[in-house]
Amino acid sequence: MSIVLKVVSAVIVFFWVSCRANSQNEPPEDYSLIINETPKNVTHIANIAGKNEPGERIKIKGILYESDGKTPAKNVIMYFYHTNAKGIYAKHGNEPRNSFAWWHGYNRGWLKTNEHGAYEINTIKPAPYPARVEPAHIHCIVKAPTQKQCYDIGAFVFKGDPLATEKYWYRAEQFGHPRDGGVEMSKPQNGVSVGIRNITLYAQYDIASVNSGLNVGENCPAFDPRHVWGADKGSKACPMCKYGYRPGVMAWINTDNWQNVSRLAKALDAEITAKGFNKLRAFIIYMNPGNLTNEAAEKKLVAFSETAGLKNVAVLFVPSPVDKTTATLYRINPATTIRNTIIVYKNRKVQDKYVNFNANDKSLRNLLNKFDNFQ
């Protein structure tokens, strides 16, 4: 074999070994593989930590709801994993390096919600990572029969944990998870502390594509859209951070026709003129379904605002219908059949919402009457 061939062969072997090593040094990315590992005959109760596992014994239970926030979600696979009492994903030592078992440790388990959507886990309270960069938490992946894929629903953290800071919750929101404040645990009874967390599935993963947006009672998170019209034109000011504690409405526009959007925007504009900015704020948020450049989106929305003669309504846009830090954060369904999602809020809490809102005289009166109840 020539020297050149030997060198080439050595290089190929080197890269093959390196790539294989790298693949084993990274956690698997496909959560569906975890769901495929679900043991047969699982119930709605998962016993995760063994009896001899050191740590404070806890039980967390609750109801899992479909994305409408009302219908119990049955037969949903839930997978949990967490650190031990030292903040480490403890392993037996014989797990394959590229497996979830190696990366998640042995404190893990599966369950399937019952016909009432109920779930329950029995385990130990995990400790924060040794570096104490995050609060103590339990990870959870879900796969519902009514949804397209499995996904992370946001970690279970514990109320009162000093590491559950504003920075932590902001970061959680940026990954599309609600700010739930953490699970409040009871005082130990018979050696076990009990907590309750009810969970709503994320609408953007629905197969049927009928639900969209945060549900009534949920908090509106911070987000950074681009303002092209209104008081904050030219900025990425957070509407909730600046104006969220006043009554207001966010109209998330996906594939709606501009005539319908114009009727809505004009009605809101007139209502603000009558009530004043201290009584009402309104935001038209274009979700950019056509993936326009920033320049093109801004030009399109400025022309719309000028034609509609808007004086009070702010017009904004976000990168795409599936952008994690904006549309997904508000659980806006990206399906093209969802033309718009209207969220009415006060004190940063959702008061009402409408999906595929038709801005006719009757529906506009019903919408505007909502704000009279806020006074």
Count the helix, strand and coil residues of the chain and give each as a percent rounded to the nearest 5.
Answer: 25, 25, 50
What residues contact 367, with CB distance under 8 A and at least 6 apart?
249, 267, 342, 344, 354, 357
| pLDDT higher than threshold 50 for residue 338 | yes
- CA proximity to 285, closest of 209, 232, 349: 232
Hey, what are 250's tokens?
Answer: 């966010």
Hey, what are 135's tokens?
Answer: 């609060």
Mean pLDDT for 153-165 is 96
Cβ atoms within 10 Å of 352's Cβ, excluding its own: 15
Give the pLDDT of residue 25: 62
Grouping H, G, I as helix, E, B as strand and the rest as coil, residue 14 is helix
| pLDDT higher than threshold 90 for residue 373 | no
Measure the CA–CA gap between 3 and 13, rounded to whole angstroms.
Answer: 15
| pLDDT higher than threshold 60 for residue 337 | yes
Measure the CA–CA gap between 180 and 164, rounded to whole angstroms.
Answer: 11
| pLDDT higher than threshold 80 for residue 131 | yes
> What amino acid is encoded at 165 in this protein?
T
Q: List, for residues 238-250, the tens digit of each pLDDT value.
A: 999 999 998 999 9
Q: List, for residues 41-77, the tens digit of each pLDDT value.
A: 999 999 999 999 999 999 999 999 998 888 999 999 9
Question: Residue 9 — pLDDT band, cuts 50, 70, 90?
Answer: very low
Q: List, for residues 171-229, the tens digit of each pLDDT value.
A: 888 888 888 899 999 999 999 999 999 999 998 888 877 789 999 999 999 999 999 99
Give the pLDDT of residue 28: 72
Domains of the chain by start residue, with CATH: 32-205 (2.60.130.10), 226-372 (3.40.30.10)
Give the pLDDT of residue 96: 86
Query: What residue ranges in the chain does DSSP mark as E strands?
Result: 45-47, 57-65, 77-82, 108-112, 118-124, 137-143, 151-152, 156-157, 192-196, 199-200, 226-229, 248-253, 281-286, 314-317, 340-346, 349-355
